Homo-oligomer: A and B are copies of this chain.
Amino acid sequence: MADLKAPENAAPWRARVYRVIFEHDTPAGKAFDVLLIAAIIVSVAVVMADSVHSVNARFGSTFYRAEWVFTILFTIEYLFRLGVVDRPSHYAFSFYGLVDLFAVLPTYLSLLIPGGQYLIVIRILRVLRVFRVLKLAQYVGEAQLLRRALYASRFKIAVFLFTVLTVVVVVGSLLYLIEGAEAGFTSIPRGVYWAIVTLTTVGYGDIAPQTPFGQALAAVVMIMGYGIIAVPTGIFSVELAVAYGERREWRSSAAQRTCAQCGRRGHDADSAFCKWCGAPLEG
């Protein structure tokens, strides 16, 4: 959300509201964030509890009212967010903007479609803000490292997934031919579903081969699935090790920067100013 800015030359109240809602470094901003996350977690818990029959029978009407209170609060918050940013459309179509919208829509939809209010649980995605709120450089840095490693492995993982999908379609069809409907393989898509359940070692057991030949083939798929878990694991481990090495290099080269004013070294990788004399750092 680096591209979401408070409007320049705006009415002072807008700038103030912006600081409270979007920023995390003032006491008011922090209090708002903590309250918001608590409200999100409570509202998700209410939806989850409400879906339990016995709980709903006792607290249904309370929960109903609570859901509407939360939804109206979040709607007001959403409108404020739209109102105080420089370019509302930018925010509306950003990841968090969409999550904020989808976090309130289901309750309104439930007026039209019964049951729709359960979709509200995607509200849980709002909790992802927690990382930004905590402002823990560690979390951000570590998440970035994981993301970089995943990004670097994307082609290899695509090759792996494509191969897995091909295997699963072929094996699922074979089992459909071998086992047939009485063992639960009523169609090829069900066979493919079974193959995925087996290859990933989930193994529900709702569909399982009955004939010796089917079981022999299933055994091959299991050993294959057991073995090829090594592939994504190996890919990710290696990419993560590479990302680690790069970060270390970057850090040590960043630490080598010399302050032009006081001549000291040993700055943190992300510091833009000398921590001893305050002069701006270069490079």
Contacts and interface: CB of A to CB of B under 8 A. Distances in A.
Interface string A233-255: 11111111110100000000000
A89 interface: no
Contacts of A53: 186-187
Contacts of A204: 203-205, 208
User: How many copies of the polypeptide does the oligomer hold?
Assistant: 4
A105 to B, nearest CB: 15
A10 interface: no
B166 A189 contact: no
A188 interface: yes
Most chain B beta-carbon neighbours within 10 Å: one of A156, A157, A187, A234: A234
Contacts of A212: 189
B240 A170 contact: no
29 contacts: A48-B173, A118-B177, A122-B170, A128-B166, A131-B159, A136-B155, A138-B155, A143-B156, A145-B156, A146-B159, A146-B160, A146-B231, A161-B227, A164-B223, A189-B212, A193-B218, A193-B219, A196-B222, A197-B222, A201-B203, A202-B225, A225-B226, A226-B232, A229-B230, A230-B232, A233-B234, A237-B238, A237-B240, A237-B241
